[in-house]
Structure 1
């Protein structure tokens, strides 16, 4: 049974994956942060999180190029801290990448519902899963080329959005009642800044997923740094631009709890019957599709890597005749579809299903970021001779900033989301129990020098 992935991806494909994984975060999800922090409070949160991500990516790239493995953070943490370290990072990454797609699929449904009010968003979400799981199964080169095309279109569309709403932009709209509470900047406003962390992270969540395509990258030591650095710069500019222009288009409070803030912001400027609005809805789907499709690629490689190493049932590491991990793709899809249709059963902390899925995904991401930065520090000490074609600039300050900010984000998220934090911990506990019961399974897994440094 083949368990090796083929290297077929170049720098442009990897940039498309890195940006495409994230770009739906510019289209929806972030505006929930306005509901808890206000526009000014959320701007502070976003700048804080953007700093964390910029420092993180410049540091994470060192790991990705030194250990180009489909497991990404799982591989780095296992090499640094052994099997249990790999388990923590692998499970956290899996939770991040499995719970992000249902939120994106529901946003796809919401965008289509603007054009077709009779269409149930859940059914549209189900259709999206079927289409894009199939595309991922057909081959990584086809999938990555599609990802690149839709990502470029999504970036262009965000620029068009900013251009169309610019004539109606007013900074006074953006700053009106811009802090949480009614007293201006106060203790309540500070609380809102921290409560909004998951939604600011959503602006950038999953950019690290390009690491999971490292085994399929041509010359990863050169292509991945170029893709990551250009990717994070692209996303920071788009995130700040979209948030400012949407908030200045009119009453930002009308956008703070919905899955389609950009079409609704555009309505405030050009009206409901404008051709620009219909264009945004249709072309705006490319941003959602790019992330949805890319994260399916990401979660399938994480399932695949964990199964290949014996952490999950080995059948999930089987490759199709197209050399893609089809069983892993299907497994993540089943979980996501079940989450979509549980929306009438789940009410977590008064959140919508979309907000709850975003928060759960962010918990996984933050734990993984912490494990990755700890792995960077550990490997610098334990394996100083490891070939590092890209070294984290400003070491140890830059990765230290990423680690401190990620830890701060985790503490704030637990404080503000106790119920979801408990469910996240329960998922991790189930994974640990399975780990404890399957030592023989791991012992018989194929040897992998990248995981051990042997």
Structure 2
């Protein structure tokens, strides 16, 4: 049974995956942060989270290039801390990448429902799953090329948005009542800044997923650093630019907590019938599609890597004739479609289904970030001779900043989302129980030098 992925991706493809995984976060979701923190408070939150992600990516790239493995964080933590360390990182990453797609699929469905009121958003979301699972199954080169095209279109549209609304921008509009809906900073402002963390993370969530395409990258020690560094710089610029420009063109309170803040902000400047507006509405769909499609690629590689190492049923590591893990792609899709129809999750802390899935994905991401930075520190000590073509700049301070901010984010997430935190721990516990009863699967798995660090 073939278990080796084919290397066919260059720097541009990897940049497209890294940015495309995230780009939907610039189109929707983040404006909920204004409802918690106000524009100025959320700007503080976004800057803190952007700092965390920038430090994280510059540090994470060292791991990705030294250990170019489809498991990404699972592989780094397994090598640093052994099987149980790999389990924690692997499960957290899987939760992140399995729960983010249904949230995005529902956003795609809701958007299409606006254009076609007779279309059930859930049916549209399921249709999106079938289309993009099929595209991923047909081959990584086709999937990555499609991802690059829609990502470039989505980035271009965000730049167009900023240019079109610029004449109507006023910082006084952005700053008005900018501290949790108040004119002055207070203790409530601090609470709002921390409560808004999930929505700031949504700006950048899943950029690390490009690491799961590392086995499919040409010359990963050279192409991955270029893709990651250019990717995080692209996203920081777009996130801050879009948020500030949208908040300064009118009454930002009208945009807080809605799923289409950019079209509504543009209406304030150009009116309801502008060609620019219609272009934004339609091309904006590419942002959602880019992230949805890219995260399917990411979760499938995580399923694949965990199954190949004996952490999940080995059938999920099977490749088809296109050298893609088709069973892993389908498995994640089945879970995501099930989540779309799991309306009982709406009752989690009074959240909508979409918000609950976003929050669950963020919990997985934060735990994975923490494990990855701990792995970086551990491997620097335990394997000083490991070939590192890219070294984390400012070590140990830069990764320490990423680790410290991730821990702060985790604490805030638990404080403000305790029920979902318990559900997340429950998922992790189920994975641990499965792990305890399946040691024979790992014993039978082929040895992987990138996981163990031992010579084959």
Give the TM-score category using the shorter length.
Answer: over 0.9
1:351-402 deviations in Å (ceiling 9; x for gaps): 2222111111010000000000000000000000000000000000000000
Superposed CA RMSD in Å reads 1.1
User: What residue in structure 2 maps to residue 93 of structure 1?
Assistant: 93
User: What residue in structure 1 maps to residue 241 of structure 2?
Assistant: 241
User: What residue in structure 2 maps to residue 155 of structure 1?
Assistant: 155
CA distance in 2, matches of 1:4, 1:300: 14
User: What residue in structure 2 maps to residue 319 of structure 1?
Assistant: 319
CA distance in 2, matches of 1:53, 1:182: 29
User: What residue in structure 2 maps to residue 3 of structure 1?
Assistant: 3
User: What residue in structure 1 maps to residue 34 of structure 2?
Assistant: 34
User: What residue in structure 2 maps to residue 195 of structure 1?
Assistant: 195
Distance 1:344-1:169 versus aligned 2 partners, 3 A rule: farther
Aligned pairs for 1:283-294 within 5 A: 283-294=283-294
User: What residue in structure 1 maps to residue 207 of structure 2?
Assistant: 207
Aligned residues of 1:137 and 1:326 also touching (Cα < 8 A): yes
CA distance in 1, matches of 2:230, 2:415: 34
Q: Is residue 53 of structure 1 aligned with residue 62 of structure 2? A: no
Q: Secondary structure at the match of 2:350?
A: coil
CA distance in 1, matches of 2:113, 2:155: 22
CA distance in 2, matches of 1:92, 1:178: 34
CA distance in 2, matches of 1:252, 1:122: 29
Q: Secondary structure at the match of 2:348?
A: coil
Cα distance, 1:183 vs structure 2: 6.2
1:142-199 deviations in Å (ceiling 9; x for gaps): 0000000111011000001111111222222211211115462111110000011111
Cα distance, 1:309 vs structure 2: 0.4
CA distance in 1, matches of 2:272, 2:369: 42
Cα distance, 1:270 vs structure 2: 1.9
Equivalenced residues, count:
454
The range that moved more, 254-263 or 297-306, is: 254-263
1:91-119 deviations in Å (ceiling 9; x for gaps): 00000000111111111122223322332
TM-score, with structure 2 as normaliser: 0.98
Cα distance, 1:344 vs structure 2: 6.0
1:298-336 deviations in Å (ceiling 9; x for gaps): 000000000000101111111111110011101111111
Aligned residues of 2:28 and 2:259 also touching (Cα < 8 A): yes
Q: Secondary structure at the match of 2:339?
A: helix
User: What residue in structure 2 maps to residue 176 of structure 1?
Assistant: 176
Aligned residues of 2:176 and 2:183 also touching (Cα < 8 A): no
Q: Is residue 73 of structure 1 aligned with residue 73 of structure 2? A: yes
CA distance in 2, matches of 1:165, 1:303: 42
User: What residue in structure 2 maps to residue 411 of structure 1?
Assistant: 411
CA distance in 1, matches of 2:168, 2:332: 42
CA distance in 2, matches of 1:443, 1:344: 39
Cα distance, 1:263 vs structure 2: 1.5
Q: Secondary structure at the match of 1:349?
A: helix
Flag structure 1 segments of 5+ consecutive residues without an equivalent: none
Flag structure 2 segments of 5+ consecutive residues without an equivalent: none
CA distance in 2, matches of 1:345, 1:305: 29
Aligned residues of 1:181 and 1:188 also touching (Cα < 8 A): no
User: What residue in structure 2 maps to residue 424 of structure 1?
Assistant: 424
Q: Secondary structure at the match of 1:108?
A: helix
Aligned pairs for 1:216-365 within 5 A: 216-343=216-343, 346-365=346-365
1:251-310 deviations in Å (ceiling 9; x for gaps): 222222122221222222222222222211111111111110000000000000000001
Runs of 4+ in 1 over 6 A off after TM superposition: none
CA distance in 2, matches of 1:324, 1:420: 33
Aligned residues of 1:317 and 1:325 also touching (Cα < 8 A): yes
CA distance in 2, matches of 1:441, 1:335: 23
